[in-house]
Structures are given as C-alpha cells and as structure tokens.
Amino acid sequence: MKPKITSDARALFEAVLSLESVEECAAFFDDVCTIKEIQDLSQRFAVARLLDKGEKYQSIEEATGASTATISRVNKCLTYGSGGYRAVLKKSNEKKS
C-alpha cells in the first residue's frame, strides 16, 4: 500500500521536479534542509548505490561511514519499499550507459 501524499508533500515533490540543474537542486536543498539532513540523504543514496552493485555490508560501512542499521534500513527499502530507490538507480544506470 502506497502512503497517502499530503498536499504539502505534493507541492514539495512538484517543486523538486521543476528544478532544471544540479546547481538549482543543490541551492533548493541547501535552503530546505540542514547540512546534516543533506549528508544523511546523500549517505543513504550512496549506500543504495553500493547495495545495488552487490557490495557487502562491511565494505559499505567502511566506504560510507553508515551504520549497519542504516545499511539494513536502505536494504529493506530496496527489497520491500515503494520502488523509489530502484527507479532512481535504474535511471541513473541508464544515463551512464
């Protein structure tokens, strides 16, 4: 079951979709998030990329500094989540090809 998206969340997601460059996106997230929140989101995405490549928890922990709890949570989302990580990883991999 997909979570209900509130009107405020929808407005936020639409705002992100309206951004046209990495620089615009970075400026927006810099205004909306704390430095720690951006670091945490970046770390989770790095973990997802490494899990997608088949890396083991220990090497991911060493490479990213993420706790095993964070790695496990990201792995759970990759396996049982809403498909967000998978969609982004697929698009990212296609872009590199």
Tell me the mean pLDDT per 10 residues along the chain, length 97. 84 97 97 98 98 97 98 97 94 83
Indicate the pTM of the whole model: 0.89
Q: Please tell me the predicted confidence (pLDDT) of residue 96.
A: 77
Q: Please tell me the predicted confidence (pLDDT) of residue 57.
A: 97
Q: Please tell me the predicted confidence (pLDDT) of residue 95.
A: 82
Q: Please tell me the predicted confidence (pLDDT) of residue 9.
A: 96
Which phi and psi angles does 20 have, rounded to 5°?
A: -115, -5
